């Protein structure tokens, strides 16, 4: 099975998982419009692959007041975009036992970037995608610690848990449309997301190439939930994921309006 979308708008494409997935898409014949804050990295990306395959748009997704205008501008410039890949995120450690060192503003900003800003992007693009008469998709990069949280990462775990819930609800809400909602749930991956840990940060987790291989394979198989790795024993973790999805689906069916 091939990837059914022709042009991916990839948010958070200048580093880590986002850049690796952008490279993979282009290598397999899919156009990519990369979005990030760092213009130099966007320029390098376009220069590497050429303007026929790649484009770049600088945008800070945290400023949600500008999101509708950003979406309108992007669609006008690239009307063939049929896949929105939401990958951007930030991660910090917090010690909730020490109020003096707990930076509430940083905590709020992390949740805002990892969750609210992505909801704003979905809100802006869903009306565009649902008007199409061809398949479209919204792909989220979630996290395994959305299911089993990491105690030292309460903002990241909580925001990814919220994003996971939003993904489930969005998929159900769009079930009768042409928009497929997909979640890729990774373990820790060796990227600059962990640079706050110092020199050892980029040695933490799965090599990014291996993650990219598994994520891309899941997309080619047409899965709407791609779980890579596990928190703790894989059998236990996957059982939690499967039972939770089953419980959600059962409740969703009960709550659907009667025609």
pLDDT at 177: 97
Whose tokens are 């779980």? That residue is: 227
Residues in contact with 43: Cβ distance below 8 Å, sequence separation at least 6, in sequence order? 56
Residues of the chain with pLDDT under 50: none
- Domain spanning 7-232: which superfamily? NAD(P)-binding Rossmann-like Domain (3.40.50.720)
pLDDT at 202: 57
For 35, 131, 135, 147, 152, the CA distances from 91, given in Å and listed in that order, are 19, 35, 33, 16, 10
Query: How would you class 66 by CB atoms within 10 Å of its CB: exposed for 0-12, middle for 13-18, buried for 19 or more?
Result: middle
pLDDT at 197: 56
Neighbouring CB atoms inside 10 A of 207's CB total: 12
Domain ranges in the chain? 7-232
pLDDT at 258: 79
Answer for the pair 160, 146: CB distance below 8 angstroms, yes or no.
Answer: yes
DSSP 206: B
List 54's β-bridge partners, or say none. 32
Largest distance between two CA atoms of the chain: 58
**H-assigned helices in 6-153:** 16-27, 39-49, 67-77, 104-111, 117-130
Answer for the pair 82, 7: CB distance below 8 angstroms, yes or no.
Answer: yes
105-146 pLDDT, tens digit per residue, is 999 999 999 999 999 999 999 999 999 999 999 999 999 999
Its pTM stands at 0.93
pLDDT at 219: 97
Answer for the pair 93, 152: CB distance below 8 angstroms, yes or no.
Answer: yes
């Amino acid at each position: 099975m091939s990837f059914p979308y022709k042009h991916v708008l990839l948010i958070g494409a200048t580093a880590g998982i986002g850049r690796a997935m952008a490279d993979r898409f282009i290598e397999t014949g899919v156009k990519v419009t990369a979005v990030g804050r760092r213009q130099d990295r966007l320029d390098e990306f376009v220069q590497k692959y050429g303007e026929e395959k790649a484009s770049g748009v600088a945008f800070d997704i945290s400023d949600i007041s500008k999101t509708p205008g950003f979406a309108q501008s992007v669609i006008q410039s690239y009307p063939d975009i049929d896949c929105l890949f939401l990958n951007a995120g930030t991660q910090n450690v917090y010690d909730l036992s020490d109020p003096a060192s707990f930076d509430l503003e940083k905590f709020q900003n992390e949740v805002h970037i990892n969750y609210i800003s992505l909801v704003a992007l979905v809100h802006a693009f869903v009306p565009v995608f649902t008007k199409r008469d061809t398949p479209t998709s919204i792909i989220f990069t979630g996290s395994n610690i959305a299911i089993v949280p990491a105690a030292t990462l309460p903002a990241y775990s909580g925001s990814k848990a919220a994003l996971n819930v939003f993904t489930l609800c969005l998929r159900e809400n769009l079930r009768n449309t042409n928009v497929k909602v997909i979640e890729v749930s990774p373990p820790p991956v060796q990227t600059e997301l962990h640079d706050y840990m110092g020199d050892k940060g980029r040695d933490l987790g799965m090599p990014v190439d291996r993650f990219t291989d598994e994520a891309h394979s899941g997309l080619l198989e047409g899965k709407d939930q791609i779980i890579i790795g596990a928190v703790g024993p894989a059998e236990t973790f996957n059982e939690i994921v499967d039972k939770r999805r089953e419980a959600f689906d059962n409740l969703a069916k009960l709550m659907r309006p009667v025609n």
